[in-house]
Structure 1
Amino acid sequence: MGRGIKALALAAGMTVAGALGAAQAAEPLKIGMMVTLSGPPAVLGNHIRDGFQLFVDENGGKLGGRDVEMIVVDDELKPDVALTKVKELLERDKVDFVAGIVFSNILQAVFRPVTESETFLIGANAGTSTFAGRGCNKYFFSTSWQNDQIHEVMGKYAQEKGFKKVFLMAPNYQAGKDSINGFKRYYEGEVVDEVYTKLGNLDFSAELAKIAAAKPDAMFTFMPGGMGVNLVRQFNQAGLADSVTFLSAFTVDGTTLPATKDAALGLFSSSQWTPDMDNEANKKFVTAYEAKYDSVPSLYSSQGYDAAQLIDSAVAAVGGDLSDKDAVIAALKKADFASVRGDFKFNNNHFPIQDFYLVKAVKRDDGAYHTTVVEKVFDDYGDVHAKDCRME
């Protein structure tokens, strides 16, 4: 009799769980899209949001078969604001996923409350080293890169080209420090100066004067968004283009080129993606993006699009039922989608293993500006911090 009662209770429990799972799957999938939408860096957040939204729209407003409710919030590039708004997303809106996150200081502010609430955090840009090694977490996945990687491309290129003296410059926050560390990991020549500017700085006259005085063979910089636009313009106005090779990451890309135009042509950057990559997923994405937004997508757009694809693949794999969080994590880790960048799989720390390229700014026949691959620098490359991550 005891065994029969236990069996009935178990069956009833399974029926209730199944009913709850079915009810959840019938509700809208709530995505908290947190991006920077204020000031000069807003272009980065816009591109991530637009790339994500494009995939949702292509799939009839659904991800993984569930209708999507996307709640977009502006972190204003202020960690305290981001913390307040992410708590609202978690506690008031009860989102299933938090996605986006442009800057590393914002990721550092929201990482703990999101992951401790056992909510899935899908980073579409920021890749601070803080969460790639010992601070890795099973609820966090990135569809971009770990900060060091993309700057290591330039360090390796500078070393191979034989540049004897290099000037380094980045904003004074975690991503800036990661960028310089990444560059120096492969560059063995002389660093004539290492300058950290205020995040959001738009006047580089003092730094450019230092570069002129130091007379390096090359300069390496990480200046995203409006910072990059002003730096490229001022670099040319200072007359340094003929004597100093300009190497960068997130400075010459699809968000800055519409503003810098010819001033950036031929300047080098590093990336895991360009609009003219020759694969079917990318051709489809670029064509659809240009048709919808009347602009060339950037690497940020591509990362937002892949973030939506990742969520779509995982939600579909669990039949729309997110109640078994370990099953969702396993589905996310499989990365069962066709990335617009080509090769893509997750490392044990949930950052991508992927290819990285030296790219340069070019102008299309129709007058549009974009980046194109010059050469592949790393093949199926994982970040150096993954060895310190305790996840399998």
Structure 2
Amino acid sequence: MKLKLTAAAALLALSAASGAHAQDPLKIGFIGELSGAQAAVGKDQLDGFMLLVERNGGKLGGVPVQIIKEDSQLKPDVANQVARRLVEREKVPIITGISFSNVMMAIHKYVTGQEVFLIGSNAGPSQIAGEQCSPYQFITSWQGDQAAEAVGKYAAEKGYKRVLVMAPNYQAGKDIVAGFKRYYKNEVVDELYTQLNQLDFAAELSQVSAAKPDAVFAFFPGGLGVAFAKQYAQAGLMKSTPLLSTFVADAITLPSIGDSAVGLVSGGFWAPDFNNPQSQRFVEEFEKKYGRIPSNYAAQSYDAAQLLDSALARVKGNVADKQAFMNALSAADFKSVRGSFKFNNNHFPIQDMHVMQVAKDGKGRLNLKTAATPLKNTQDAYHDKCPLKGAS
């Protein structure tokens, strides 16, 4: 009798342990810029992602999740260290975030080579859209050229004959300039590349003044955009030379740039004035929770959370079946803030690209207002170089 009771107790203990193990949260790594001049970009990505996680009571796809946050500090070597820590020590099957393309290029091969799913919610360098693509990458933002392509087409349609372009000297800057020139076939007066952390643009703005272009096209994200736009206005150029941009003017930078930004043109995949129900809900909940207008960084990271929510539900949390989870991610069965959403063969979105202008919204705040949609249902320029064929 005693032996039977002991055996029963052991089975009960084993059952309880198994039940506790089944409830262990799924670990998801988040890597972003969470300190320094570009911290606002990573913070908006993190806040957009956590908005859905917290709405769902700490779950995605009905599965409890633990979000492990890591700061890459905009340093590729640091990003490598934190990626390895997440994969090797924390055993995460999923990593999301990734703010800058130099960080993405530093960790992409390692993470995907470990068969860890990389759900990128900002950086989209041309290499991983093309020959270096991986079946384990799923990008919910855009390929780096795309917003600039829309602005290039817009500039050509506006009749600007001579444009000067400016960007930081790193992969995203080069991709964005390439994207602009792909659709803008008139004269590019000059291409000025600055250091990635450069905040003083006096020398470059003197060159702009001397060149007298019809317009300037510039890409400077986060804190760089604030410094650049302020100095552009202080130099008197905002009134004389139209400023066309990608990611200079957004919800992060506009409060700091101020009223001089009114009329500034920006390209992108989404703006807070989108009138579909899922975007309206996102904007309303984000503003209520965080007390500020969401940027595109928050929107595309919210979509990353929605993608995971849908895919984890499909596989009932079983990410160990990698092919099934890959298929669930490829299906992209969620309602994006941008409207329709589907993945191309390289697991980058096929999507509309818009041009917005800075204006005052109904509450008197500086905001982005959709002005045109130069590119509809567009694929990135590198997808045909990716060896992946259609959905996984």
TM interval, short-chain normalised: over 0.9
Tell me the alpha carbon deviations over residues 206-265 of structure 1, each in whole angstroms, 9 at most, x when there is no partner: 010000000000000100011100111111110112221100001011110111121211
Residue in structure 2 matching 1:331, options 315, 321, 328: 328
Tell me the alpha carbon deviations over residues 87-122 of structure 1, each in whole angstroms, 9 at most, x when there is no partner: 000001111210000000000011011101100000
| 1:381 alignment counterpart | 378
Residue in structure 2 matching 1:120, options 113, 117, 120: 117
Q: TM-score, normalised by structure 2?
A: 0.93
Tell me the alpha carbon deviations over residues 118-170 of structure 1, each in whole angstroms, 9 at most, x when there is no partner: 00000000000010011110000100000011110111111111111110100
| Displacement after TM superposition at 1:384 (Å) | 1.2
CA distance in 2, matches of 1:236, 1:88: 44
Residue in structure 2 matching 1:34, options 31, 35, 57: 31
| 1:217 alignment counterpart | 214
Whether 1:286 aligns to 2:283 is: yes
| Displacement after TM superposition at 1:366 (Å) | 2.2
| 1:236 alignment counterpart | 233
Give the AA of the match of 1:91: E
| 1:12 alignment counterpart | none
| 2:9 alignment counterpart | none
Q: How many residues align?
A: 372
After TM superposition, the structure 1 = structure 2 runs for residues 226-265 of structure 1, keeping only pairs within 5 Å, are 226-265=223-262
Aligned sequence identity (%): 51
| Helix, strand or coil at the partner of 1:27 | coil
| 2:271 alignment counterpart | 274
Deviating more after overlay: 315-324 vs 122-131: 315-324
Structure 2 residue ranges without an equivalent (≥5) = 1-17
| Displacement after TM superposition at 1:367 (Å) | 3.0
CA contact (8 A) 2:238 2:260 kept: no
CA distance in 2, matches of 1:367, 1:228: 22
Whether 1:138 aligns to 2:148 is: no
Sort the Cα spacing of 1:209 and 1:59 in 2 relative to 1 into closer, same or farther, 3 A.
same
Whether 1:390 aligns to 2:373 is: no
CA distance in 2, matches of 1:22, 1:383: 46
Q: TM-score, normalised by structure 1?
A: 0.93
CA distance in 1, matches of 2:64, 2:182: 45
CA contact (8 A) 2:45 2:121 kept: yes
| Displacement after TM superposition at 1:22 (Å) | 9.3
Residue in structure 2 matching 1:173, options 170, 183, 186: 170
CA contact (8 A) 1:25 1:321 kept: no
Sort the Cα spacing of 1:117 and 1:276 in 2 relative to 1 into closer, same or farther, 3 A.
same
| Displacement after TM superposition at 1:25 (Å) | 5.7
| Displacement after TM superposition at 1:24 (Å) | 7.4
Whether 1:85 aligns to 2:85 is: no
Sort the Cα spacing of 1:203 and 1:316 in 2 relative to 1 into closer, same or farther, 3 A.
same
| 1:361 alignment counterpart | 358
Whether 1:70 aligns to 2:70 is: no
CA contact (8 A) 2:101 2:125 kept: yes
RMSD of aligned C-alpha atoms?
Answer: 1.3
Q: Runs of 4+ in structure 1 displaced over 6 angstroms?
A: 21-24
After TM superposition, the structure 1 = structure 2 runs for residues 284-363 of structure 1, keeping only pairs within 5 Å, are 284-363=281-360
| 2:12 alignment counterpart | none
Whether 1:111 aligns to 2:108 is: yes
CA distance in 2, matches of 1:244, 1:162: 14
CA distance in 2, matches of 1:173, 1:23: 47
